[in-house]
């Protein structure tokens, strides 16, 4: 038998299904009834449970998700049902945390985000995600307000928020480009500098050449990450 490796989204779906079925794990089906452990059998009708799934995002590694997580908890989302993306912009549609959140929601559930710009920073992406949720029978909550795609006023307000989120993203990019252009003109923009000095790079290369130190050893000695060690060795070999 060949083992099939599940994707993150598939594992998320499986975990969410297990979490929802925990109350029934001790039950056995007997003649059309559900019998729970240590209880007499009684007629039981399975009904769809609604769950709030949260999503939070920040654009840079230096930012913190604590405030967004606290806001989601205040809105009734359990901490273990919050999916996050750290260091990814809203203009990037390929986000692992968002994909997992969209995979976790089921019909009747609600996807909760603190603000629309955490979900998407482009009008097409915001509409596509909202349409995807609507097709699955999932509600979308922007803070404490639930978006109703069948309400013309609600739909218009949603599009306005998405437009402002996209405008803000464009404004940030424009200001960043302008700032970089000014810094470059003043000779202050020289690109990303190496984490190790020239002397440290030569020493790292020498130690590696002895064959007595592994990549992990060198990373510990120089207090850098393994990728930094690899980049340094590649730079020195040129």
What does the radius of gyration of the chain's CA atoms come to, in whole angstroms? 25
So which residues are the catalytic ones?
Answer: 59
Q: Which residues pair with 110 in a beta bridge?
A: 52, 139
Q: Are 72 and 56 in contact (CB under 8 A)?
A: yes
Q: Which residues pair with 34 in a beta bridge?
A: 29, 42
Q: Which residues are CB-neighbours of 17 under 8 A, at least 6 positions away? A: none
DSSP state of 115: S
CA of 33: how far to CAs of 29, 37, 152, in Å?
6, 13, 45
Q: Is 76 left (phi over 0), alpha (psi -120 to 50) or beta?
A: left
Query: What SS3 class is residue 16?
Result: helix
């Amino acid at each position: 038998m060949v083992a099939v490796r599940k994707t993150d989204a598939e594992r998320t779906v499986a975990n969410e299904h297990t979490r929802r079925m925990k109350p029934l794990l001790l039950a056995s089906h007997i003649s059309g009834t559900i019998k729970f452990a240590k209880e007499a059998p009684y007629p039981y009708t399975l009904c769809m449970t609604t769950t709030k799934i949260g999503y939070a995002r920040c654009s840079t590694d230096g930012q913190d998700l604590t405030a967004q997580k606290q806001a989601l908890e205040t809105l009734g989302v359990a901490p273990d049902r919050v999916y996050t993306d750290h260091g990814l912009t809203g203009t990037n549609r390929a986000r692992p945390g968002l994909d997992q959140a969209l995979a976790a929601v089921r019909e009747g559930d609600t996807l909760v985000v603190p603000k629309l710009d955490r979900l998407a920073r482009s009008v097409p992406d915001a509409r596509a995600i909202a349409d995807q949720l609507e097709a699955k029978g999932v509600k979308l909550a922007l803070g404490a307000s639930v978006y109703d795609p069948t309400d013309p006023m609600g739909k218009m307000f949603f599009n306005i928020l998405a437009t402002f989120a996209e405008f803000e993203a464009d404004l940030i990019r424009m200001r960043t480009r302008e700032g970089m252009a000014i810094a470059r003109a003043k000779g202050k923009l020289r690109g990303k500098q190496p984490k190790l000095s020239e002397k440290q790079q030569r020493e790292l290369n020498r130690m590696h050449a002895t064959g007595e130190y592994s990549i992990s050893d060198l990373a510990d000695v120089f207090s850098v990450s393994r990728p930094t060690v690899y980049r340094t060795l590649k730079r020195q070999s040129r």
